[in-house]
Structure 1
């Protein structure tokens, strides 16, 4: 194998806009051209005021060290707007990151605690402070730690044994500190939280309890007690928001913010500073009978903005107060009280059940430089409020440059209305006509209600307009998960009937799929487009005992039978199913056992027979391997397991030939596109000859050329696919920076859409 000189490529996004959870907003207190946001899976963004776009700061991050894409906390130096600090991690690799040029160049320093910016508690803060040359970090796992040498060494400040910190705050002089925590370490019974709010006046040497709401036993709540979410202050008061967990589905007592799935109650408390000590002043919680938490809060001497979070009926509310919280005026409740500019297509109410897509408002910030404006976060991007002083309030997405969606698979079509078919977490899927146009809506039913989180799609080379996909039903219940079919290249969809009555196992899985946000499975279509195969999931994994097929678009279903090498009924285990591009009778399935297994069907998926293959190909957990069918040959597919090598499989009449063409390298993703001559172009991501990157091969893996540089790495990569219509163009389904495409530099055209 030869590695040729790199080819210069440039990259752009197939624009979606926002799409993910922005977990925090940070204005510089004195410099009006320094503004950052942090996200849960997409790293840090800085706003470019000259170009009116957000700039992604994790382009240099590789899939093999993605810690920077999971930031938990961010801090600035109030005396130097060029300095940036943030903590990040994936629990395996955990860092303090430091920059002296607004994130253009970032130095990573190991930090002595586990961090994850995409786990419970990510929505609270702030947790990181820079005061008088010292960094303070309120961690998830080690309590409060601090450093006097920019993270070269750390010391611990004991907060009565509490390890999970929700926020830390300091006054302007750095003499008074306030800290919030989960209360787990001092729980009296493992269910009720201990005290959760403290202050220190001696540089964190000791702490004293600060008045906080007493625990309330809410119905269906798993844990009891209020955890501080956010803190703000003006010249007269401090204000702290609190939330109490609802039914906790994961995360234990560490689950105390909106991302636990539910909150049972909340409070807003007001405090005075008297003789350098905070003193409780008043409960200023708005009157609202609907259970919810309170989180986002921001104040100046003219007004306070406040948000509910996880409000159970009618969605979240944004309040405004001009009398220090004595009374509250609603400025957003659903689609009422304000005007909206839905400048991103999929966010429009008609694609969201007629309602407001805004949710998970855990942070809201008044601009320090324009009292008429504020920003607030959501689970689907960043929003701006204008007209706060005039009363003519306008709310609109503020997402130009933010691409924070998690893409699971991407496909390009050889012909048809839409060129790129995108399979995506949360938003389901998109069908793009070209690389420069926005998609009007993600995969939806005939009413425009969205499906969410597809796992895969399939189509044939002969009929690419005929596409099957496997989505979850959305959170509102307006769509149900299952198998959906498009006959117009992904523009419109219908949901097929469920294969009920075949077996109790399948019926139980289908019952689960009917619930919101449950994996529906994996699909494949025969080469002639006449048979659709569905490995029903109903949760994690695709059982070989739950594989069904239909020849009439779901009017009737039959079950596929899996046999072992001896001809007996195979034991139950997970499989992924695939069709051949040319032979309609040929299907195959990859088995997820100790090592990779293979089943082949030569009767159009009626029966799958295990093939004895002498190989030690490792099968990674949760099916994290990537498989691509070679588009110019029947019976040939390639597999990248993300561990060792790149494997070529060729299915013949009586045998399967397997070759590892890159035994000394690690390949994570593989895909094919239009080639120069007769052979298709092969695209891979991973390490070749010790170098990480994206690579192209024009000779089926005999040689490769790198097609990115060290500034073009974009974090987690879940799938790669070449364009089937144009040589040298390819797509990346990233888990960090949306859906991307690359072209050779001399041919690249990028149109930036301005949404506001």
Structure 2
């Protein structure tokens, strides 16, 4: 039932009631993912129970049909950093218990301390246990781990290895409270770049992983032997406790040249396997080793599968087969050429075989068949032997073998989850079927969205994966943006009176491809705009109503304009960093906003004049223009939502909206009516997503407790001009959602 907004009689505050919406993901990676998956963790006690954690997209639970269910979609503007999952632990004693260490950054980008999220129903719901420090799910070294573990003999005990030098923490009450553990000789001293003033690369990565030796104890008592790896090199970095964490000492004979990346204990062999790298990952690592520590003999063995010129990467992913003692697999952390690499041993690391090998340069033997039929943009859907085609993957940190099924294996890459169901064929015919197995994991960081009045339903600008034309919302696109192709598309726009004409802007400064692209075919084909100088990156872009002029905000904040594909020139009459937009009817008019000032150009963006002010705004977020009425303009800002109908000569604040970020105009409720307004905003003290069918006089909230969409200020919005009530929300980590009235 439609609920209407009411005006508080005395307070003068608009209270938006709710309207039920149905929310679904736009399929980008139907089985493809679209983002970095640092770890996949199987529960050792319950068959089929597994979880995946991501750096910016939350955590997921594996389903019996190989699909995944997101667990943290409830994260909203106040809990957006829950989507940064730095560690995950599934309880080996009580499989219903699940723990997540959440927090996005340890520097100022995330002002909040981290949490341990506790679930007693396999992620159906969580309670949050606060930590006295920050957690970095999207920080360097996020593929190390796991930093969070449950004692396999006494599951009320957990240990968590913190970042930033905070050390090791312990809980004795199922994660409800935590206390610092004393006596660990080293809490991790390595920082990737001490000169980084942002704090992102200059913070200590800290503790890499914590691993129990279950054989050292008995059920119902705290496990005595615990191993801890820390991010330090040139000194001892693997420590052991034999008294349940009371005292610690360095494990003698260890490799101190590299960082201990992952540590996995083989119960059957009574041995600790460790992958090491000279970089903390996920992007670095040019050397490394695999070490095996036998607890009984207290000896280390170097079991690194390659050496010399064949060792040009570190090691990240590490897995053992619980059913087949001595079977171990490791992944190259960053083998960028000619492909990623995975090694397998069935004799405890004495001998190894690889997923591919040279048959005399330049011929590769790839011991797998490859299938990406449900995420064809990852493509192509066959085994490629072309050198430099990263089909196996990169940033390969998470690697797991199902403890109940030796044929079932999964590993995470920088783009997806790969794996298969015939792993034992590796040991016989040495040829496995490699598949993308990430159905349900949508982890893209969406930068901009448009829904033109004709042509494709939706077109997206995406971080890391470029962007896509979505002719279907339920089937993954066949390809990313091509020719030119770049990693991140920052923004996209279309010509209001000729919507098949489009422009997109990229963020690369390497100069190999110009960062403006033009399409006259609704995005199905593109060409470089040579009007932009090589090496100039962009942030925002606007196209005139006729499509003859492009206005852009460059990475340095300058506003630049090009008409008829003439060289871009700086527009000095508008402040750097201004928000920009084009009128969708009048081709000579562009708009800009900076601080509280609103600017208008009537000469195709070449010069701007200050026309008015937008209240007391200090940070305008977006300008949106009526699709069919010239001069009808909306501006969202830190002070609310403003509307003007006279080419920006004056604005009126929309009552009750105290802060607004992304917003859009969609199909009117009735033919000939004013477009519906969708906004990510603070209305009546509630930060959420709202719709108004009467130009902001009243609102309904369209998101619910199960759909928070993360950070409101980081998301983008567009509305469908062809279907009433439909809105698209592009998130920073969970891909694109589309919502329809239930």
Separation in structure 1 between the aligned mates of residue 99 and residue 47 of structure 2, nearest angstrom? 18
After TM superposition, the score normalised by the length of structure 2 is 0.85
Shift in Å at residue 414 of structure 1? Answer: 0.4
For the Cα contact (< 8 Å) 1:67–1:93, is it kept in 2? no
For the Cα contact (< 8 Å) 1:295–1:363, is it kept in 2?
yes
The 5 A counterparts of 1:599-638 are 599-611=599-611, 613=613, 615-619=615-619, 625-638=621-634
Query: Is 1:407 matched with 2:429?
Result: no
Residue among 58, 66, 87 paired with 2:72: 58
> Does the 8 A contact of 1:234 with 1:299 survive in 2?
no
Rounded Cα–Cα distance in structure 2 between residues aligned with 1:432 and 1:115:
35
For residues 213 and 283 of structure 1, what CA distance do their matches in structure 2 show?
13
Q: Is the aligned partner of 1:342 residue 2:372?
A: yes
| Secondary structure in 2 matching 1:666 | strand
2:192 is matched with none
CA distance, structure 2, for counterparts of residue 268 and residue 154 of structure 1: 33
Q: Classify 1:457/1:696 alpha carbon distance in 2 versus 1 (closer, same or farther; 3 Å).
A: same
Distance change >3 Å, CA 195–CA 411, structure 1 → 2: same
Q: 1:138 aligns with which of 136, 161, 169?
A: 161
Instruction: Name the SS of the counterpart of 1:124 in structure 2.
Output: coil
Counterpart check, 1:7 vs 2:19 = yes
Residues 667-709 of structure 1: CA deviation (Å, up to 9, x unaligned)? 3321111111210010112332233432110011100112222
| Pair 1:345–1:532, CA change in 2 (3 A) | same
Q: 2:615, 2:62 → 1: CA distance? A: 51
- CA gap of 1:692–1:145, structure 2 versus 1, over 3 A, is same
Q: Work out whether 1:393 is the aligned partner of 2:414.
A: no
Distance 1:644 1:147, change over 3 A: farther
The CA deviation at 1:73 is 0.8
Shifted more, 7-16 versus 281-290: the winner is 281-290
- For 1:496, the equivalent position in structure 2 comes to 529
Structure 2 matches for 1:198-597, cutoff 5 A?
198-211=239-252, 225-236=258-269, 237-245=271-279, 256-258=280-282, 261-274=283-296, 278-287=298-307, 289=309, 290-300=311-321, 301-332=325-356, 336-343=366-373, 344-349=375-380, 354-356=389-391, 358-391=393-426, 392-416=431-455, 418-445=456-483, 450-472=485-507, 480-500=513-533, 510-511=534-535, 513=536, 519-537=537-555, 541-544=556-559, 547-551=560-564, 554=565, 556-563=566-573, 573-591=576-594, 595-597=595-597
Report the Cα distance in structure 2 between the residues aligned to 1:596 and 1:430, rounded to whole angstroms.
35
Structure 1, unmatched stretches of 5+, are 184-191, 217-224, 246-255, 501-509, 514-518, 564-569, 746-756
Task: Between 110-119 and 379-388, report the one with greater CA deviation.
Answer: 379-388
Unaligned runs of 5+ in 2: 1-6, 8-13, 105-109, 189-205, 218-222, 358-363
Match of 2:667 among 666, 674, 683: 674
Q: How much does 1:23 deviate?
A: 1.2
> What SS does the aligned partner of 2:38 have?
strand
Q: In 2, distance between residues paired with 1:481 and 1:63? A: 35
**Is 1:722–1:729's contact at 8 Å kept on the other side of the alignment?**
yes
Matched, 1:713 2:708: yes
Where 2:674 maps in the other structure, the secondary structure is: coil
Write out per-residue CA displacement over residues 609-654 of structure 1, whole angstroms, 9 at most, x where no aligned residue. 344637420217xxxx23322324322332333x4422224454xx
Give the conservation status (yes or no) of the 8 Å contact 1:714–1:736: no
RMSD, aligned CA: 2.5
Question: Over residues 257-314 of structure 1, what are the superposed CA-to-partner deviations in whole Å (9 max), with x where a residue is unaligned?
Answer: 22xx322211100110127xx5323343423524111011111315211111112432
Match of 1:178 in 2: 227
Alignment check: 8 A CA contact 2:129 2:177 kept: no
Asked if the contact 1:349/1:355 (under 8 Å) is kept, the reply is no
Q: Report the CA distance between 1:490 and its aligned residue.
A: 0.9
| Shift in Å, 1:150 | 3.2
Distance 1:732 1:341 in 2: 30
4 and 363 in structure 1: CA distance in 2 versus 1, 3 angstrom threshold: closer
- The TM-score with structure 1 as length reference comes to 0.84
Closer/same/farther in 2, CA of residues 98 and 473 from structure 1, 3 Å limit: same
Aligned to 2:208: 166
In 1: Cα distance, 2:371 partner to 2:613 partner: 58
SS of the counterpart of 2:704? coil
Residue 560 of structure 1 deviates from its aligned partner by 4.5
**Residue 170 of structure 1: how far off its partner (Å):** 0.7
CA displacement at 1:432 relative to structure 2 = 1.0
CA contact (8 A) 2:338 2:389 kept: no
Aligned to 1:264, the other structure's residue is in SS state: coil
Q: 1-side partners of 2:446 and 2:642: how far apart?
A: 24
